[in-house]
Structure formats: C-alpha cells, structure tokens
Structure 1
Amino acid sequence: MASTWFALPTEMKLAVVDVLGQEDLKALSRVDKGTYSICVPSIFKDVTLKNWSAVNSFLESVPASYLRYIQLLDFCTANEDPMDSFSNPFSRTRSDAVATFLTSCPRLSRLAMRLSGCLDKSVLPAFSALRDLRDLTISNCGDEAQCPLSERFIVSLAASIPSLEELSLDRITRSIMHAPELVGVYPVVPLVSGDDDIAPHPYLGSDLCLPSLLRIPTLRKLIIRDTHLGDPRWATTPVACKLQVLDLGSCYHETDDYNRLCTERIMAAVGPTIDEFSLTTAVADEVFAKPTVTPMQRLRKLHISPFFPVDSVVDTVSNLAGSPIETLSMQCYEEDVIDMCSALEEFLSLRVERGPEFYEKLRRLDVFVAANEDADVDDEDASAKEDCAERAEAVKRLQEFCRDLQLASQVGKVAVDAITGKTQRSGSSAADDACDKRPVGHC
C-alpha cells in the first residue's frame, strides 16, 4: 500500500490531501518527509489559538516560513488563566508580536481576533498589507470597563484593510472624543479616553467614529453586537459601501426603546442596498411598511434573533411589509416555541386578511430552536413530556397553516458561534424537532 502511495504523481497526492480532515491529514503527514512537505500547506491553512499562551507556543514552535500558508486565523490575546495579573494583555510587546504574526500571513482571507482590550496603535500598519483579507471578526473578550476596545482603533483598523467585505464587531466601546454627550449621564455607558493619539486615517481622516464604517467602499456585510449605536452620525455619514447583509444587536446599557431608535436610524441609512437583515429589537417606524417610501426596497431575507421580544413579532414584521421579503427566519428558545408559533399564526392570518399585496413575495417561513443549556430536563419528568407535546402540536399547526398558504417551512435546531456570530443550523420539517431537548449550542 505504501509503495502505491509513493508511486502516485504529486498532483494526485495533493488531490488526496485536499479532501482529508485534520486528524487524517496529520496522520498522513507522518508517513515520510516528502509526504509531510505536501501536507504542510493544508495543515496550516486553518489555525485557531485559544489564548495568548497558545499564540506564543505556536510562534515559537512553528517555522516562520509555514505562516504564509495560513488563510483562516482565529486567535485570542487573553491570558490562559483569567486570574493572571502578571502578564499585561495589552502591552506593547504583545502588540508587536501580533503585528509580526500578521505580516507573516500574507494569504489571510479570514481573521477572527478575540482581544482583551486594545492593542497598541503601532499594530495598525500591519493590516494594510493584508490584501487578501475579506472577512474580519473582532470581539472584546475582556472586561469592557477595565479593558475597553476603542471604536477609533477598530474603525482605523478596518479602514486600513484594502479588500474588506465582511466585518463583525462585538463589544466595541465608544470614545469620549466622539461621544462627549454620554459623559456623566445615566445609564452609565463605558467610554474610552486617551485614544485621541491614533493618527488620522488616509481616507477617513480623524473622523474615526463607528458610523465612518459606512465609508469603507468594499464593505458588503456588517455585524455589530453588544455595542452602543447611539451616534447620530449614522444618519448623516455619506454611505460609500453597498451593504447587502446587516445584523444589528442591542446595547445592554440602554433601554429597548433607545435601541429600537438606533436600529431604525441605521436601517434608514443603509436600507437601499440591503438584501438580508437580522433584528434583535422591534421596529415601530411605519415608513418601512410602505412600499413606495421604505428605504429597504431590496430586502429579501429577514432574520429575527432569539432575544427579540415575541410579543413584538407581529407588529415588527407588519411594519417591514414595504420590502419584497421572500424568507422569514425566526430564532427562539425552547420555552418560547409555543408563543412564537402562535405569533406567526397571527401574522399569517393577518396576511390572509389583508390580501395578496401584503407580503406577496413571501415564499418561506422557518423557525430555528435554540435549546436552553442551563435547563436540566429529566426525560422521565411528566411535566417535561407534556411541554414537549405542546410544542410539537404548536409546530404542527404552524406548518399545516404554511402548507395551506403554499409556503415552505422548516423547524430545526440552531447554534450561534459567540465569537463569529455565524449561525450553524440543522433541521428538518418534522414537527418533533421542537421536542429535541439535547443542548444544541447557545445564542
């Protein structure tokens, strides 16, 4: 068998390597030195480093020449031990190491950085050299009050990447320089000071507030979560990008009404190009319900997160009726399945009542259920079985209603990556999917 492998031409060996999983790939690489050389590009194509200790170990043990093979990189600057106070997570030394690491990865196409506070501004020039980078995720994995991640730093970083198309941000902190109105007022929103020394950007100048992200011409997908979006410049900043996908979370320091106003303001600013939109807050502005004036004239896919208030589903979906929505996708927790199905039945009844012009493009309605990992459900518990049966019946009624209206429908599980924000789904049209009590992740 080994002689057969050695007899294969290099092209065929590469074809075999391309279809192997990581474990099989590592096993194959141990065959001999030549095989290892063939496997190296695939072994180092996708790298995940869970803490700063792992980053250091990787850089110390992996030959620098192998870093050029990395295309997908996910790393964290936090200490392995959260109680370790002897290693500064945002030191200049750590920033220099990150800059050297990134400049050694010229083929990066996707980068996820979990930062425990801001890196030094000296790291920013490294991002302008990442010409293949299309997808960037930045998340603050530290204490926002102690280790804030400055909006000025993040906007300058993102605008420096030549071909950035997808940007996902989580827990970015407003700068006092751009949000002086938040100083000393209630509710207390974390703010960054001392970031006014970040140099003006060649394109954006010193206007490095979050709304300036809309001036990045290559940007097509924007996700912002757990971040204060109250900057009024979202409504006035010239929009140079053509966003197709928008996903806005809410700020837990603000009220639901305040978050709703912020969401509506951003929707109005970028609406003309949006094809896909994800919501965590209700929409009350009726302008979105009028086909002739709604700014979201291309919206085809609407997603609603599990944090969305179920009692606002009907009103919000109705208020977005001005868009040519083809797919409605709802996420909810197991305990909300019955209420969500009831709300969707109410919406469908409203659609029948209002006639063919109300959601005339709608073709599909899906519900994805996230299990509550904190719940300890005993399979033998009679109450749990009764709840399961009620959820299954609610799902069955909803799907039968969808079939009557000739709408495709799916009910399944959902898991959301807390770092990337990307949804991982599995499901079927079987009603008993709503009764699967095994944990499927968290949202």
Structure 2
Amino acid sequence: MSSPVAWHTLPTEIQLAIIDPLRQQDVLALSKVDQRTYRACVPAIFRSVKIPNFEALQRFLGNVPRGYLSHIQELFLSTEDAILKSISLRVRTDFVISLLSATPRLVKLSLQMAGSLDTSVITPFPYLTALKHLHIANCGEEENFPLSERLVVSIAASLRNLEDLSLDRISRSKIHASELEGVFPYIPLVIGDEDIPTHPLLGTDLSLPSLLRIPSLRKLTIRDTHLGDERWATTPVACRLEVLDLGSCQHANDAFTERIMATVGPSVDEFTLTTAVSDNLFAKPSVTPLQSLRKLHITPYFPIESVVDTMSNLAGSPIETLSMQCYEDDVVDACAALEDFLFLKVERGPQFYDKLKNINVSVTSSLDGSSVTPEEAHERLAATRRLQAFCWDLCLGSIVEKYAASDGGERTSVTSFTDARRVKGRSNTI
C-alpha cells in the first residue's frame, strides 16, 4: 500500500491535471488554501472570463496582473458604458486593445459593442492566432450607435484561423448600400466609416458578402441584419460553410435568403431557416445547390402557412432531421403544418424525403408571457401526440420539447422526449 503524497510534493503538471477538470467554484475554493496553491489555480481561474461592461473592464485591467491574461481562452467582453457614453471612443478602444493584445491563447470571443469602436480596435486581431469562435453584437441602439459592417468584416477577416462567426445587429455601410438611403422602410446606415484601413485580403470591399472570402470559415450566423446586397451572388466563395444560420431580421427578404443559400449551398450540412423558400430549383436533386443539407432548423419567425410549400421546394436535399421551433400560441398550427407535410410525403411516395429520419419540435414561451388555460394545454398536448403518432406510423423519430405549463399562475418547464423508433406502442411521456 502506497503512502499518502503531500499536495505540494506533486509535480506542477500533476497539480494542473487535478485542477483542470474541477468546477469553477471548486477551483476558487481550492485556490484559497495558500499562495502556492493559488498560483497553481490561476490558469483555471482565468480560463473563462466575463466582463459585462466598460466599468468592469477598467477594474479588471487595473487589478489583474497582466501575466494572468495569457491564460484566458474564453472571453465575454462588453464595451457598454453605464455612464451614458461619458468615456471617449478612443479611450474605450484602448482598453479593449490592451486586453486583447494580452490574450494569445484566446479561442472563443464574444464581443458586445455599444456601437462601433475606433478603427484601431482591429490592431490586435491578426495576432490572435488561436481564436476560432467569434461573436460580435451591437448592444447599443442601432439608430444612434450603429455598428459598421466594414469594421466587423475587417475584424473577422483579420483572424487567420476563424471557423465560427456569429453577428447580431450589424448595420449596413452607406459605402456599400447607398441605394437604401432615403427609401422606405427605413434601414439604419453607417456614415463616416471610410477610414477603415484597406485589408490585406479583401482590399476596400468590406461588405458583408466578403465574409465568404475567408478560407477558414465553417459556420456563419447572421441575425437582425439587413442582407439585401447583390454581392452575395457575385462574391467568389473561398470557404466551405458547413453550418449557415441567417436568423431573423425585420428587413428579411426571401429572395436574398435564397441567393445566399444558392451561393454557399454545396457544402452546407446544417441550415436555419427563417423565411419561406419559393425557388423550386432547390427541389431538384440533380441541380439543387443544397446537395449536402442534412439538418434543417425552422425558427419561430418562419411563416407556418409556408411550411409545406417550403419543404416541397427543399426536397432535392438529403435532409435527415427536420427541427421546428415555435411559440406556445403556435403549437397546434405548427404540428398541423408538419402533419400536412407528412401527408404530402405519403402522397409523393418513398423517394420523397427518403433520407428523413427525425422530426423534432421545441416550444418556447409566448412573447406576451400569457398563461395557458387547461383547454389550451389539452389541445396543444393532443396536437403533439397526433404528430408523434403520425411519425410512428412512418417509422420516423420524434422528439417533442414540451412548453411551459401554467399552474396557479406559476410557470414550470416540462420536457418530453419520445422517439417513435424506440418506444413500444404509441404512448407519450408527459
């Protein structure tokens, strides 16, 4: 029997191996043992950092030794200024640069900007060679503090190993979208971003479609952003996108969505759909651009009345999993639309969606937070049961994520998982 080994006699490598899988609260508790243990815990403590606003950024840089920043691998950073933009743009930008320039191991970055920062913020990004996942969002009021597409595209294109890019509420630049000026409906435009430096790869063309010229890009998500740019159809595609999510936008246009789908379609395995697809080119297996599409997600913003037509128009893709998300108020209609699609599948014969294996539904709380009456709850449950029974008949898997139920004014989340290929009989788990 081996004798106990004192913690401080362990080699540093073994100490780090012990600390690494611990939960954050356990790491913090262990770090309080003594100074030597704290130093061993530093890499784990600073592996994931969240900085919620500019004031927190100032405190963080003022109190954390700069050497500790090199351990950061995941970073959430917001530049929102709680004192109503009292800090100059250049000062806020300098603090961001100071932090990013000290994080060479950064792999995942979520950057929430209250409008555009100074163009110098681009400076540290070419040196973040480990950064693969980037999320940029505008957390300010777009009308007063827009976030320029030119700045965002330049940042993304400066990352040599970027694989996953997610953008929210990015504003079009007047340079690339002058045709939108003064037209209805109003779309915010950025002016004064001509000073974005010429990019080594993209030159002066820093429009959103130029993102397709980033060779390493594999996943692209763009939400709440105007996508009406003719360049989506003409920009040479250098990446092989596997996941495409065009999200929702009040300025959504079906034609532009279809144009982007057609441009990047050959390599896309997973796609999130917000608008209807009217182009029946996608229904022809021999010519459909979506030759590799296997996972299709339909968002709550999708027009339910267009489900059957859109699915018919996407029949040329080898879709294996169809996932539909809807609000509580739309459960019955959503399930009915999916049933209509299944009826169409039966009518068209075995070659129509022959690769389909799963139809999943997830239900989110209503936007208005209204309570659900017992009658409504019963009707919605019956609708999900009918859908799952139909899936059973067609030997399809089905997972239904139940909606929040109402009980005496309190809402509780109930989740049900039923796979029609595995259960015996047609009973549902409730």
With the length of structure 1 as denominator, give the TM-score of the two structures. Answer: 0.89
Matched, 1:270 2:264: yes
Alignment partner of 1:16: what SS? helix
- Counterpart CA distance in 1 for 2:328 and 2:6 is 53
Q: For residue 222 of structure 1, what is the aligned residue in structure 2?
A: 220
**Per-residue displacement from partner, 1:337-365 (whole Å, max 9, x unpaired)?**
11111111111111011001110000111
Residue 60 of structure 2 is aligned to residue 71 of structure 1: no
Distance 1:426 1:154 in 2: 38
Q: Percent identical across equivalent pairs?
A: 57
- Greater shift, 19-28 or 223-232, is seen at 19-28
2:115·2:140 contact (CA, 8 Å) conserved in 1? yes
How many angstroms apart in 1 are the aligned matches of 2:20 and 2:366? Answer: 37
**Residues of 1 paired with 2:229 and 2:147: CA distance?**
17
Question: Whole-Å Cα distance in 1 between the matches of residues 71 and 428 of structure 2?
Answer: 45
Runs of at least 5 residues in structure 2 that lack an aligned partner in the other structure: 405-413, 420-426
Give CA-to-partner distance per residue, 1:361-414, whole Å, 9 cap, x none. 00111111112364243xxxxx61221111111111111111111111101169
Give aligned pairs, total: 411
Residue 177 of structure 1 and its aligned partner are, at CA, apart by: 0.6
How do 1:165-204 and structure 2 match up within 5 A?
165-204=163-202
- In structure 2, what is the Cα distance between the partners aligned to 1:427 and 1:227? 34
The residue number in structure 1 matching 2:247 is: 249
Partner of 2:281: 287
**2:409 aligned partner:** none
Q: Which amino acid aligns with 2:38?
A: Y
* 1:391 match: 380
Partner of 2:45: 43
Looking at structure 2, the residues matched to 78 and 175 of structure 1 have their Cα atoms a distance apart, in angstroms, of 22
For residues 428 and 52 of structure 2, the distance between their equivalents in structure 1, rounded to whole angstroms, comes to 36
Do 2:57 and 2:95's aligned partners in 1 also have CA atoms closer than 8 Å? no
Q: Is the 8 A contact 2:359 2:398 kept in 1?
A: yes
Q: Indicate which of 313, 330, 336 corresponds to 1:336.
A: 330
State the match for 2:390 in structure 1. 401
* Residue in structure 2 matching 1:412, options 401, 404, 409: 401
Q: Tell me how far apart the structure 2 counterparts of residues 16 and 174 of structure 1 sit (CA, whole Å).
A: 49
The structure-2 alpha-carbon separation of the partners of 1:86 and 1:292, relative to structure 1 and needing over 3 Å to count, comes to: closer
Instruction: Please report how far the alpha carbon of residue 230 of structure 1 lies from its aligned counterpart in structure 2 after TM superposition.
Output: 0.5
Query: Which of 359, 365, 373 is equivalent to 1:371?
Result: 365
Paired residue type of 2:89: S
How far, CA to CA, are the matches of 2:416 and 2:57 in structure 1?
36
What aligned pairs does 1:24-35 form with structure 2 within 5 A after superposition?
24-35=26-37
Q: Is 1:318 matched with 2:320? A: no
- One-letter amino acid of the counterpart of residue 405, structure 1: L
* Per-residue deviation, residues 31-63 of structure 1 (Å, max 9, x unmatched): 111111111101100011111111111111111
C-alpha contact (below 8 Å) 1:392/1:432 kept by paired residues = no
Deviation at 1:180, TM superposition (A): 1.0
1:16 aligns with 2:18: yes
The residue identity in structure 2 corresponding to 1:87 is S
Q: Deviations over 1:126-149 (max 9, x none)?
A: 100000000000000001111111
Equivalents in 2 of 1:75, 1:86: separation in Å? 17
Whole-Å Cα distance in 2 between the matches of residues 413 and 116 of structure 1? Answer: 36
Letter of the aligned partner of 1:318 in structure 2? S
Matched, 1:352 2:354: no
1:114 corresponds to: 112
Please state whether the residue corresponding to 1:284 is helix, strand or coil. Answer: coil
Pair 1:296 & 2:285 matched: no
CA distance in 1, matches of 2:99, 2:403: 34
Deviation at 1:336, TM superposition (A): 1.0
Q: Is the 8 A contact 2:78 2:111 kept in 1?
A: yes
Q: Counterpart amino acid of 1:210?
A: L
Alignment match, 1:441: none
Counterpart for residue 144 of structure 2: 146
Paired with 2:165 and 2:92, the residues of 1 have a C-alpha distance of: 23
Deviations 1:95-150 (A, max 9, x none): 11111110100000000000001011111121000000000000000011111111
Structure 2 length normalisation: TM-score? 0.91
Question: 2: distance between equivalents of 1:374 and 1:33?
Answer: 52
Alignment partners' CA distance in 1, 2:125 and 2:78: 17
Contact persistence 2:248–2:301 (CA under 8 A)? no
Measured in 1, the distance between the counterparts of 2:238 and 2:265 equals 13
Once the two structures are TM-superposed, the CA of residue 335 in structure 1 deviates from its matched residue by: 1.3
Q: In structure 2, what is the Cα distance between the partners aligned to 1:345 and 1:164?
A: 40
Change (3 A) 1:400 1:286: same
Any unmatched runs of 5+ in structure 1? 378-382, 416-424, 436-443
**1:200-226 CA distance string (max 9 Å, x none):** 111111111111000111111100011
CA distance in 2, matches of 1:414, 1:21: 31
Q: The residue matched to 1:24 in structure 2 has which SS?
A: helix
Task: Provide the C-alpha distance between the structure 1 equivalents of 2:249 and 2:124, rounded to a whole number of angstroms.
Answer: 30
1:432 Cα shift? 7.3
SS in 2 for 1:303: strand
Determine if the alignment matches structure 1 residue 87 to structure 2 residue 89: no
Give the secondary-structure state (helix, strand or coil) at the position aligned to 1:409. Answer: strand
In the alignment, residue 223 of structure 1 is paired with which amino acid?
T
Q: 1:361 aligns with which of 342, 355, 362?
A: 355
How many angstroms apart in 2 are the aligned matches of 1:372 and 1:49?
Answer: 31
Query: Highest relative contact order (Cα 8 Å, sep 6+), 1 or 2?
Result: 1
1:228 touches 1:250 (CA, 8 Å); kept in 2?
A: no
CA positional deviation for 1:66 = 0.3
Query: SS of the residue aligned with 1:346?
Result: helix
Contact 1:321 1:358 in 2 (8 A): yes
For the aligned residue pairs, the C-alpha RMSD in angstroms reads 2.0
Residue 427 (structure 1) shift: 5.3
3-state SS of 2:277 partner = coil
Q: Show CA shifts across 1:233-282 (max 9, x none).
A: 10001111111110002431x3x6xx111100100111111110001111
Deviation string, structure 1 residues 170-211 (Cα, Å, up to 9, x no partner): 111111111111111111110011111111111111111111
Q: 1:62 aligns to what?
A: 64
